[in-house]
Amino acid sequence: MELLAFGKTGWGDELFIATLMTLAVSITAILIGFLFALIFTPLKLSKNKILNLIANCYTTVIRGVPELLVIYLFFFGGSGAVMYVASIFGYNDYIEINAFITGSFAIGIISGAYSTEVFRGAIQSIDKGQFEASKVLGLKKPIHFFKVIMPQMLRLAIPNLSNVWQITLKDTSLISVTGLVEIMRQSYIAAGSTRDPLFFYSFAAVLYLLLTFLSMKFINRLEIKYSKGY
């Protein structure tokens, strides 16, 4: 137990902060993912073949390549890509992107591919009559989308989004390779330093279980709230 002490001698405070970091990265990543889904879901449903192809490429490639490779690509290529874009605008100095942003974006893009599929499925399962009803009522397109489709889509999507959340939360364990100190990285360091891997990796498992357990409780509440009136 002294291994988990807070302060200079133990790893308790480090692991606590690392848990918060895991949570922060997961939340940032899933929100970035929603942003991507917001862009790519309409493309997926679009009748334009090219837009369709772009969206399909995104979801197929991201969901077909190991997360670890996506993260490595981001880690090694991220700064380079940003610097390249900046150089077009005439900015040639080195640009540092911190580990948090790199990690959140890498996981966010992965998470976004799954979210896109969930949103697409949800929209497609909305009754076709609704679209026609809006037309008959003469609702403008944006109003139709935000007031009629979005609320229903969200309700239909919540159960599957909780899966996406779980995937995202667990994927953050892989960004330890970029040097961001989250649960996995901290356990790795502690295991190396104390030569007690069994204890620290088991403890990491407990922390992840705790996070999934608590977040599922929270999502269940949301689900109940949003399914009211149906």
Partner 1 sequence: MNIIKKFSLGLLISLFLTISANADKIRIGTEGAYPPWNSKDASGKLIGFEVELAWTLCRYIGQQCEIVEQDWDGMIPALIMRKFDAIMAGMSITAERQKAISFSQGYADEVASLAVMKGSDLEGITTSEGINLTKKTGAVKKDLKTLTSALAGKTVCTQTATIHQNFLESGDVGKINVRTYKTQDEVNLDLASGRCDVALAAAVAFTDYAEKSGKPVVLVGPTFSGGAFGNGVGVGIRKDDTELLKAFNKAIDKARKNGDISRIATKWFGFDASM
Partner 2 sequence: MISSFPKLLNATLITLKLLSVSLIVGLILGILFSIMRINKNLIINKLAYGYSYFFRGTPLLVQIFIIYFGLGQLEFIRSSFLWIFLKEPYWCAIIAFSLNTGAYTSEILRSAFETIKPGLIEAGKSLGIQSKIIFFKIQIPIAIRQSLPAYGNEIILMLKGTSLASTVTLMDLTGVAKYIISTTFKPIEVFIVAGGIYLFLTFLIHNLIKFLEKKYSF
Residue (of 172, 212, 220, 219) closest to 28 by Cα position: 172
Residue placing its CB nearer to partner 1 in the complex, 95 or 167? 95
Q: Is 89 in the site for partner 1 (CB under 8 A)?
A: no
Q: Is 152 in the site for partner 1 (CB under 8 A)?
A: no
CB 99 within 8 Å of CB 133:
no
- Name, in order, each residue with C-beta under 8 angstroms of 110's C-beta and a sequence gap of 6 or more: 29, 33, 62, 63, 67, 70, 167, 168, 171
- Give rounded-to-5 percent helix, strand, coil for the chain: 85, 0, 15
**Candidate list 11, 58, 119, 208; residue touching partner 1; CB under 8 A:** 11
CB 32 within 8 Å of CB 109:
yes
Q: Look up residue 12 and give its two tokens.
A: 């308790």
Q: Which residues bind partner 2 (CB under 8 A)?
A: 60-61, 63-70, 72-73, 76-77, 80, 166, 170-171, 173-174, 176, 184, 187-188, 191, 196-198, 201-202, 204-205, 208-209, 212-213
Instruction: Report what 90 binds from partner 1, partner 2, none; CB cut-off 5-8 Å by kind.
Output: none
Instruction: Report what 97 binds from partner 2, partner 1, none; CB cut-off 5-8 Å by kind.
Output: partner 1
Q: Is 148 in the site for partner 1 (CB under 8 A)?
A: no
Query: What mask, x for binding partner 1 by CB under 8 A, covers residues 99 to 118?
Result: -xx-----------------
Between CA 144 and CA 152, with CA 146 as vertex, the angle to 5 degrees is 90
Q: Look up residue 162 and give its two tokens.
A: 């909780």
Binding site for partner 1 (CB under 8 A): 8-11, 14, 28, 31-32, 34-35, 38, 75-77, 79-80, 82, 93-98, 100-101, 146, 177, 179, 181, 186, 189-195, 197
